[in-house]
Structure 1
């Protein structure tokens, strides 16, 4: 199998391991779901302006649901793991590279969400609890890598919109992808392509996400939770 295929499988194995660990610990499962739910609502608040703008709403919703959503992606992941060799043969190399980045982002997010859930031990979170868990887990380099991968996936989808041949090829992949057991992956790629094409240029959109996510990460690492100013600083969190 190609290096990209092996990397995708390794990332999916990490995701499966995190799920199994949480399934064996009901408390960790509940607290991790609380982390995911908080992050989903946080993203909706941070990007309320983009979600309300016709030009950016669909793409922001795509990010919110596909990359930040608290929903269970196990069906999609099972499809990936079962047919990765066929995926690598079937899809164009550029798309395989995007799937690799997506799988790494997914693995890192699952690992960090579990770590945050273990740090909070709570079934619901407020800003202070979230910031405390963020600082307890730490790992700023991993946080930066998550943002980098998210932007990498977005940039790739934006590039694809300028390649009509690739879009046509993607449409032709529907039947083979369905036959190969890859409908969830096909839907993800087509939805991403279509929402980014409708935006007619993603540079400003992706720059906004990069700036806000990096500013948020820096603020969460910097806030002194023992300071009297902490409540005011946390209230300013997007």
Structure 2
């Protein structure tokens, strides 16, 4: 198996380990799910303008559903793990590379979400819907500046790859032709992801402006979260943080 295929298996094994850890700890599983729900709501608020823009709405929705959504991808992951050899054999090498990047992002995000869930549980008096105060505290307790920067970078890599593929009509045709073999090989979920991403980015007719906005907003939010003064329910709406930080954190639900 080529290196990309091996890396995909390693990333998926890490995701499976984290998922098994949560299965054995229901409180952690609930906390992580609530973290993901909060992050999905945050993305919807941060990108409300793009979600309402005719040009960018589908791309923003694709990112929300496929990269930032709270749903579990256990079925998709299990499918991927079973058919990685077929994936490497059937799909072009550059697409396999993109799938490897997707798996890497998935493993990193799951790890960060698990750590945030643990840190929230350590101080929470009970597991309930997250607030901005909870989220900021869990984020700062988790730390991982490098991991957060890598998370943004991997997201950009996937977006740039999908944008690049839209300028290769032969690749789109090949992807369409692979639909039946992919279904037969158990690659239906992956095929859907690739076709959906390809078509969504193609309709934008150039994704650089969209990706620049996502990078800038995610990086600004990460910096504000790391730099935020300790926040309590009594000060979170009273201007306790510097104005620029408070403005950025205003996108938290």
TM-score (norm 2): 0.91
Q: Per-residue displacement from partner, 1:31-55 (whole Å, max 9, x unpaired)?
A: 0000000000000000000000000
Q: Give the distance between the partners of 2:171 and 2:223, measured in 1 at CA.
A: 38
* Count of paired positions: 238
Is this contact kept in 1: 2:136–2:231, CA < 8 A? no
- 1:132 corresponds, among 137, 160, 170, to 137
Corresponding residue for 1:78? 78
* Structure 2 residues without counterparts, runs of 5 or longer: 122-126
CA positional deviation for 1:218: 0.2
**Residues 174-214 of structure 1: per-residue CA shift (max 9 Å, x gap):** 00000000100000000000000001100100000000000
* 1:88 aligned partner: 88
Q: Does the CA-based 8 Å contact 2:133-2:231 persist in structure 1? A: no
Q: Secondary structure at the match of 2:186?
A: coil
Matching residue of 1:149: 154
* Equivalent residue number for residue 186 of structure 2: 181
Specify the alignment match of 1:194 in structure 2: 199
Contact 1:158 1:197 survives alignment (8 Å): yes
- The alpha-carbon distance between structure 1 residues 165 and 42, as it changes in their structure 2 partners (threshold 3 A), is same
CA contact (8 A) 2:83 2:186 kept: yes
Once superposed, what is the RMSD of the aligned Cα atoms? 1.4
**Which position in structure 1 is the counterpart of 2:124?**
none
Identify the residue that residue 35 of structure 1 maps to in structure 2.
35
Residue in structure 1 matched with residue 112 of structure 2 by the alignment: 112
Task: Say whether residues 1:210 and 2:212 are aligned partners.
Answer: no
Query: Are residue 169 (structure 1) and residue 170 (structure 2) matched?
Result: no
Q: 1:67-110 CA distances to partner (integer Å, 9 max, x unpaired)? A: 00111111111110001011011100110010000000000010
Deviation, 1:124, is 1.5
Give the Cα–Cα distance (whole angstroms) in 1 for the partners of residues 128 and 204 of structure 2.
37
Unaligned ranges ≥5, structure 1: none
Return the alpha-carbon distance in structure 2 between the equivalents of residues 226 and 76 of structure 1: 38
Which segments of structure 1 move beyond 6 Å, counting only runs of 4 or more?
A: none
Name the SS for the 2:167 alignment partner: coil
2:227 equivalent in structure 1: 222
Alpha-carbon contact 1:223-1:230 (below 8 Å) kept: no
TM-score, length-normalised on structure 1?
0.97
Secondary structure in structure 2 of the residue aligned to 1:187: helix
